[in-house]
Amino acid sequence: MSLRRRERRVIAAAGAAALVAVGLNLAFSAVAAHRRRKRRELPGFTAQVNLSAADIKRLADRVVSKSKETYDAVAAVPLDKVSFSNVIAPLAELDAQQFPLVQACVLPRMVSPSDDVRRASAEAEKRLDSHFQQCRQREDVYRVIKAFTQKGERIGLEATRFVQCMVREFERNGAKLTQSKKTEMEKLKSHIDDLSLKYIQSLNDSTKFLLLNEEDLAGMPLEFLKELENTNGKWKVLLTSYHVTPILEHCKVGSTRKLIAVAYGQKGGKENIAILEKLVQLRHRLARLLGYPNYADYAIEPRMPRTSRKVLEFLEEMSEQLNGLANRELSVLKDLKMEEEGDAQFSVEDLLYYMKRAEELKVDLDIGEIKQFFPVDLVISGILKMFQDLFALRFEEMKDAETWHDTVRLFSVWDASSSDLLGYFFLDIFSREGKYAHTCVVALQNRCLCSNGTRKVPVAVLLSQCPKEFDGNSALLRFPEVVRIFHEFSHVVHHISNRATFSRFSGLQLEGDFAEIPSLLLENWCYENISLKMMSGFHQDITKSITSEACQSLKRRRDIFAGLKLKQEILLCLVDQIIHTGENVNIDDLIKDLHPKVMLGIPLLEGNSPASCFPRIAIGYDAVCYSYIWSEVFAADLFASKFKDDLLNQHAGLRFRNKVLAPGGSKNPLDIISDYLGREPSLQAFIQSRTRNSL
């Protein structure tokens, strides 16, 4: 199983733990041997931090033991005696009680300064993951839950959705299969995981290279050439994205760009093509075993579109709507090539180079200079102020709180009007050895109502790897890092704004497409004058914020050639959908046929084997590559309709918080957004926003 999948399932989303961890009010108290601060009781916050390696092992043991005990108790309920109180309530209660315990076990793997603690946490995560996987396949518990659904007991709408989610989760994991079919399912999953890993390992092979003369690399920055190894007077270019992308963007020699593009496109070789085709066959077998017509319908069923047909219709409409914009962009690139090379014949290997050339000509922006306006401390304080102002929140730092490292900060979150406590968040943003290397958000505790009437409040952790202070000055962030932190903090606010009763419907446990929509919506604030100035200031004089011209250039840089870039993405998404809906599709032939149709007549590069280097289709995004574009479209419509003309309108922000963020997963996400907009979402806002700034 991929690391990304495991993290999303057990850490950030924790759907496995949250849905099937069963037991009642499991209390845990530990004195951590390496505490840095005295523990302070925080209302509504029961999650543990700073556990030792031994603490983690003991807690994981108790979680597994109590889960199994209560699971057995639910399975033992006679089918004619099932009720909400003896079947569903125990599941919901342990969802509430065990989620923070599970997170206390698995978070240290990402944040602890101790090697021993990180190792114990990783082992606990593996054990818990395996345990919950077994729980989700228990036919005896599934049978009892199904009996409850057939009894017809009247329950609330959120409870009904909770039961529906449980039934679907069990069925998708084979709970209603015979034992022999369960065994077959496990073999298929294991085979799929092995092949996916083999495919990725081939792509990660850094030993493949080309030797090029200096004249072959005309136009490449001196800094890039200095990093290359010189072998007998030739430059050694590795077939990795770190070398290939800069060459495709900067090399003036068309034959070199073509050579590099073909070599990189063949990197996985015939072996990877065979692996991918085998993977698709195995996925279809798995889906049919579970009662689905194909793998795409299996993968998409729990997501917003629900069916592969809906996704294909969306992608085809999107591609058609982009034709006008993409054609205008391609004409600009062809003109540039004619000027520079005297040849308007345009090929795939020319796209990145001439997009970069056009950007240099049309966008007045010095990325190195822009960085001077984003000191870490100023960016963070600006983000916090902006979210407080927009969503009517109040953040209070808790200076004496216990954390796992001295650089970690804890904040409580309050409703600015009612002064109700909404939750807490940790900021762990500075780099250190052994820490998780990427920017992300982890749920430490979900909001929920417990059986004794008490409420747990949401707790989130924002992780990043920002540089530390240098010579007493705040370190500087690159603009993409600013956007990433802003995006992830949007997830923090989404999580803390959740008002659902069931832990299962937390803001970080949403359907994949819906989870990204609020954060992609709020990313727009990173490209608007008023908001960007709030989180910027020249590092030597922070009273001097970024200029309006620079703000406009950043937005234009984001959107330039959006049509062609999206067309490339749509091509990938179409291939992903078609191979996962059809049987025995020749992937290379499919791409050769689709490429000129989607890419406005540009043929696939002769000799390329794209199927050998499609990592997202091989692992992590199989049959759901469409998701990011889908979320972007919804986000663009929300921004244009509700926020564009008044970015800091607190009334609009509060309404969004209450109508879209608060329900979490307790309602159908399409219904949530449609009710908020007062209509069905539309592609037009997205197309218009990208067209306005593209050229």
* Confidence (pLDDT) at 22: 31
Residue 496's closest CA among 530, 462, 534, 529? 462
User: Per-residue pLDDT tens for 552-587?
Assistant: 999 999 999 999 999 999 999 999 999 999 988 999
> CATH top-level class for 202-362+561-623?
mainly alpha
d(CA 98, CA 95): 6
In sign, the C-alpha dihedral spanning 112, 116, 117, 122 is positive
Amino acid at 588: D
d(CA 138, CA 176): 8
pLDDT above 90 (res 609):
no
What was the pLDDT predicted at 267?
Answer: 85
Which residue, among 603, 621, 616, 608, has the nearest Cα to 268 in the 3D structure?
A: 608
Q: Is the pLDDT of residue 669 over 90?
A: yes
Q: Residues of CATH 1.10.1370.10 domain(s) within the chain?
A: 202-362+561-623
pTM: predicted TM-score of the whole model, two decimal places = 0.91
Measured between alpha carbons, how far is 611 from 662 in angstroms, rounded to an integer?
A: 41
DSSP state of 457: P
Q: Which CATH architecture has domain 51-175?
A: Up-down Bundle (1.20)
Q: Do 666 and 631 touch, CB atoms closer than 8 A?
A: no
Nearest CA among 386, 378, 651 for reference residue 541: 378
Measured distance CA(208)–CA(212) in Å, rounded = 13
Q: Which backbone phi and psi does 338 adopt, to 5 degrees? A: -60, -40
Read off the pLDDT of residues 472-503 as tens digits, 9 standing for 90 and up. 778 999 999 999 999 999 999 999 999 999 99
The CB density around residue 230, as the number of other CB atoms within 10 Å, is 11
Cβ atoms of residues 247 and 220 within 8 Å = yes
652 three-state secondary structure: helix
Dihedral, CA of residue 111, residue 113, residue 117 and residue 123, to nearest 10: 50
Range(s) within the chain of domains with CATH label 1.20.1050.40: 51-175
| Number of neighbours of residue 206 by Cβ within 10 angstroms | 10
Question: Annotated catalytic sites, by residue?
Answer: 488
Residue keyed to tokens 């090697």: 115
Distance CA 604, CA 258 (A): 12
pLDDT tens digits for 34-82? Answer: 344 455 689 999 888 989 999 999 999 999 999 999 899 999 999 999 9
Residues 691, 325: Cα–Cα separation, whole Å = 7
Say whether pLDDT at 25 is over 70.
no
On whether the 368-558+626-691 domain is CATH 1.10.238.10, my answer is no
Q: Which residue has the tokens 């954390």?
A: 403
- pLDDT above 70 (res 638): yes
Q: β-strand 234-238 against 409-415: which pairing, if any?
A: unpaired
